[in-house]
Amino acid sequence: MMIDSPVTSVKGVGPKKAEALDRLGIHTMSDLLYFYPRDYEDRRSPVAVSDLVPGEPAFVKAVVISVVKTPGRYRKKQILKVLAEDSTGRMEAVFFNASFLARDFTQGEVYCFYGKPTSSQGHIQMIHPEFAKADSASGEIVPVYPLTSGITQREIRKLEKAASQFAGEAEEDLPDEVIKDNALCDIGYALSNVHFPETMEALRKAKYRLIYDELFVMHIGLLMMRTKCSDGIAFSRDGAETEYQKYLPYELTGAQKRVVKEIAADMESHQQMNRLIQGDVGSGKTAVAECALYKAVKSGYQGAFMAPTELLARQHFKTLSNDLGPLGVRIGFLSGHLSKSEKDEVAEGLRSGKMDIVIGTHALIQPSVEFSDLGLVITDEQHRFGVNQRALLSEKGNDPDILVMTATPIPRTLAVIMYGDIDISVLDEMPPGRQEILTKAVTDKSRGIVYDFLRGEISRGRQAYVVAPLIDKTEDIDARSVTEVYDELKKKFPEFRIALLHGQMNEKEKDAVMEEFAAGGYDILVATVVIEVGIAVANATVMVIENAERFGLAQLHQLRGRVGRGREQSYCVLISNGEGQVSKDRARTMVESSDGFYIAEKDLELRGPGEFFGTRQHGIPDMQLADLVKHMDIMEAVRGTASEVLRDDPELTAGKNTPLRKRVEAMFGRGSIINI
């Protein structure tokens, strides 16, 4: 066998086992080597039976003194109880419906057990512990792997043992000077010790090398993405963006002025702009976008502004028409709900150049939409659009400048990574006069108080949102649904006008409900997270969120941003039944802070990076060992080294960098980073 031999060449791996391994992405011995453990069990120092703590996994070495099969509740099912003792006490290893394991135990022999102790009627038990004779199981740091049905830990360990003999054949991806300058162990040592470490220090060295690898290759790829920016339009250096600010009825914040300057510099350069504007709800992203659009139009180009919902697109159309229209800028609106004649009229205006700016939904990417000279593309709440949708709109021009905006707070520690090919501008200052939303976290026991408060606010002429995580109640999930809450509130507040909104309604129905709510036609809107991105309703002052423990902090912050749009004091009430420490910490964060970026950082700490990398549309590759929160120090070390390597060899064409080039292509997808 060799490192690239199929896993089926290992004795005992037949079609069924190969099918299970396939689900884990394992086809060759090399795949096994790069399939890392998710955890480790330290079986080097056994714990005395008398020192076992219920709930804390432990390794025990004890003599088996009896093996007993007892009937279970159901016919044909038996319980196997193995009584074992050391010099300090006795414990029971219990196996349900596994009486066949009795043949694996011999009275009087010493065995090693690993499991989570429990206490039952004063007796210490381990339910289904791992076990082996002491002479073959002690003195090891044992790997624990992520599994799938059809394969056990014992089986995958046996396969990894077979693969580890080929660790020395693994190809080095990193240049020799990178390994030497950063005191990294070689790849063979790393792959061998990440599976079966000789010591904890060996494991530390192995993991550091492999984590460094993942982050290094990721940074190389992202840096190469940045260098692939096309030549773009050089817009006029006429100061139009500054001129436009004079027409606004308010003064831009310092942050807005700074971001406008950054955008203007990009637009005036010969390189295509690719910039992200991050800013909390109400930080003034739309005004910044208007400055950029005005500059594009004054330079003789057209602009396109795409929003994820028709309601939001119409709001932008109204705002831009009021602000830019009086300056002679010709603005159109396009959505799927327009009549054919209305669509044709907009399409003709764009094609002929009679229309300067178009605002719309994904209808803008239809083949029938053509531009005379598209120079600037803006997408709002860009995470709602896939990469392909944004690309289709950009392709309607000749390398137009690209500006994307989001109110979804992205942790500062992740922003550069998530948008490796985008320059980032942050609106970190709120316009003066905005009141902070008062936030309170309560349990279900305080529901009556919450409802009394709700009645008081609505009686004063205000409106409220009530958000629930589910559309319909299910037995599987212990959470409230919008239909359940809607029915309850209709009975509780018969005097109020209450509407229901959720994702299973069609767009026309959803828009009609939101428009009616915005116009004051409803007092309470019961909804799912479909309102996370919506229009501003200045009269809405209360946001009640049911089962707040089921939402991420970033999402809670977005929902809270639906209120506080007017001059009246606004409130957010989080009703949570989560009892764990994480749930309490999250609630405290929401109560104590209104800073979206800080909240996103806390969310990342408490829940990990998974929710920020839920899809691959950002172009971030999967990583097995690297943790973008825990390993920020390694990430910082990697960044400078990656830049140096690319400075000397931008396309990784030098012979010493060929393995690295192959690894980058494998991680990001061939052709997505490097033009070959």
Residue 278 near residue 406 (C-beta atoms within 8 A):
yes
Does some domain include residue 588?
yes
* 283 & 362 share domain: yes
Instruction: Indicate if 132 and 85 belong to the same structural domain.
Output: yes
Q: What is the pLDDT of residues 478-535, one digit of tens each?
A: 789 999 999 999 999 999 999 999 988 887 888 889 889 999 999 999 999 888 666 7
- The identity of residue 611, as a single letter, is E
Q: Residue 417's pLDDT is what?
A: 59
- Quick one: pLDDT at residue 676? 28
pLDDT of residue 674: 42
3-state SS, residue 459? helix
Q: Which of 382, 398, 427 is the last residue of a domain?
A: 427
Backbone angles phi, psi at 524, to 5 degrees: -130, 135
Do 406 and 526 sit in the same domain of this protein? no
What single string gives the DSSP state of each residue in 181-198?
HTTPPPHHHHHHHHHS-S
> Does some domain include residue 286?
yes
Helix (H, G, I), strand (E, B) or coil at 118: strand
Residues 403 and 552 both lie in one domain: no
pLDDT at 442: 94
Tell me whether residue 541 is in a domain. yes
CATH number for the domain harbouring residue 49:
2.40.50.140
Domain range for 384: 253-427
Query: Residue 100 contacts by C-beta under 8 Å, 6 or more apart in sequence?
Result: none
What local confidence, expressed as pLDDT, does residue 443 receive? 92
**List of residues 6+ apart from 105 with CB closer than 8 A:** 64, 67, 82, 111
Closest CA to 374 of 403, 391, 398, 346: 398
Residue 227 counted as domain residue: no
Regarding whether 408 and 309 lie in a shared domain, the answer is: yes
**Alpha helices for 460-506 (secondary structure H):** 482-492
Q: Report the side by side order of strands in the sheet with 58-71.
A: 117-120, 123-127, 89-96, 78-86, 58-71, 110-115, 130-133
DSSP 8-state class, residue 230: P
261 plus 290 within the same structural domain: yes
For tokens 């190389």, the residue is 220
Whether residues 258 and 377 share a domain: the answer is yes
Kindly give the parts of the chain with pLDDT less than 50. Answer: 610-619, 672-676
**String of DSSP letters for 237-254:** -S-HHHHHHTTSSSPPPH
| CA–centroid distance for 250 within its chain | 36
Within-domain flag for 630: no
The pLDDT value recorded for residue 618 is 40
Residue 188 lies in a domain: no
Same domain, 525 and 422: no
Render pLDDT for 381-405 as a digit per residue (tens, 0 to 9).
755 555 556 667 878 988 899 998 8
Within this chain, do residues 413 and 527 fall inside the same structural domain, yes or no? Answer: no
522 domain-assigned: yes
Q: Cα(484)–Cα(472) distance, rounded to whole angstroms?
A: 7
538 and 473 together in one domain = yes
Point out the domain boundary residue: 103, 138, 173: 138
Q: 100 φ, ψ to 5°?
A: -65, -20
Q: Hey, what are 294's tokens?
A: 């005005």
* 471 and 339 in a common domain: no
| Domain end (from 427, 451, 483) | 427
Phi, psi torsion values for 127, nearest 5 degrees: -90, 120
- pLDDT of 36 reads 94
Residues 458 and 487 occupy one common structural domain: yes
9, part of any domain = no
* CATH number of the CATH domain containing 368: 3.40.50.300
Query: Looking at residue 611, what is its pLDDT?
Result: 47
Question: Which residue is it, tokens 């300057």?
Answer: 261
Please tell me the total count of domains within the chain. 3
